[in-house]
Amino acid sequence: MTAPHDCAELERHIQELQEQLLQAQKLSTIGTLASSMTHEFNNILTTIINYAKLGLRHKDNATREKALDKILNAGQRASKITTGMLSYARRGSDRREPTDLIGLAREVLVLVEKDLKIHRVRLQTNFDSQPVVAEVNASQVQQVLLNLIVNARQAMEAGGQITVSVRAAGDGLTGEIAVRDTGRGIPAETLRKIFDPYFTTKTADAQGQGGTGLGLSLAREVIEAHHGRIRVESTVGQGTTFILKLPLLKHKTAPAADAPRPWGEGQAPVVQKAG
C-alpha cells in the first residue's frame, strides 16, 4: 500500500513533468514560426532602412515627416511582435487573472499573421463587440490557441481560410473561442483518438517539429484545469472547428435571438464521414 507522502510526491513529480511538457511545446511552436518571424523582421528592417535613406536624401519637411512616420510604424510593429513572443515564450506561473479573451486572441494573431500569409492562408476574425472576460492563466490559454491555429494552417497545404471567433455564449456564463479551418478534415475513426496522449497523424520533420501527439492532449488538460471544455467538429473535405469553452467571471445578457452565430450554434451536429 502506497504511503500518503509517496502519493503526494508522485503527484508533485507528475505536475513538474507536465509543466516541462508545456514549456517544450512552447519552444516547439516558436520553432515552427521562426522562419516566418525572421522573414517579417527582415521586411521591417528593410522598411526602416529605406525610409531612413529617403529622409536623409530629401530635406523638405513633408518627405521627412512621411519617412519618420513609416519608421515609427515599423518600429512599433517590431516591438509588438517581440513583446508578444517574449510573453509567450516566458515560463508562466500558475496565477490566473481576469482576462479579456478577445484581447488574448488578438495577441496570438500578431504572432501568426505573417506565417499564415506565407502559406497562403486567409485570416478572418469574428469577435463580440464587448469584452469576454474569464479568469485564466493567459499564457496557457494562448499556448492552446496558438497550437490550434498552427495545426489548422498545417491542415491546408494548398492554402485556405482560418476563422478565429470569440464570443460569450447565449447563457452569458461561458466564453467561447473557436478556430475553424477549411482544410482536409478529420475522419471519424481518427477524431475519436485525437485527444489521446501520443496519438498523432503528423510526421515529424527534419527539425523534429510536429508528430509528438502531445499538443491536443495537453490542450485538453489545460482547458479542463480551467473548468472548461474543448470540442471538435469535422467533416472530411470541408474542414475542422475546435471550440474552447471557458467559464466567464460574471453573467452577461444573452444576445438577441437573431444575433450572428459564427460557427453554427443551433444547427444540426456535424456528421463525420470518412472519405
Walk along the chain (275 residues) and give the pLDDT tens digit of each residue. Answer: 556 667 777 766 666 666 666 666 666 666 667 776 776 787 788 888 888 988 888 888 888 898 998 899 888 888 877 776 666 666 555 688 999 999 999 988 988 888 898 899 999 999 999 999 999 988 889 889 998 998 899 888 888 999 999 999 988 899 999 999 999 898 888 888 888 776 666 554 444 444 444 478 888 888 999 999 999 999 998 999 999 999 998 744 333 433 333 333 333 333 333 33
Strand pairing category for 160-168 and 121-127: parallel
Distances (CA, A) of 64 to 44, 45, 52, 75, 76: 18, 18, 9, 16, 18
| C-alpha grid cell, residue 186 | 478529420
Q: Which DSSP string corresponds to 145-163?
A: HHHHHHHHHHT-TT-EEEE
pTM score, whole prediction: 0.69
> Distance between CA atoms of 77 and 163, rounded to whole angstroms?
23
Fold of 96-247: Heat Shock Protein 90 (3.30.565)
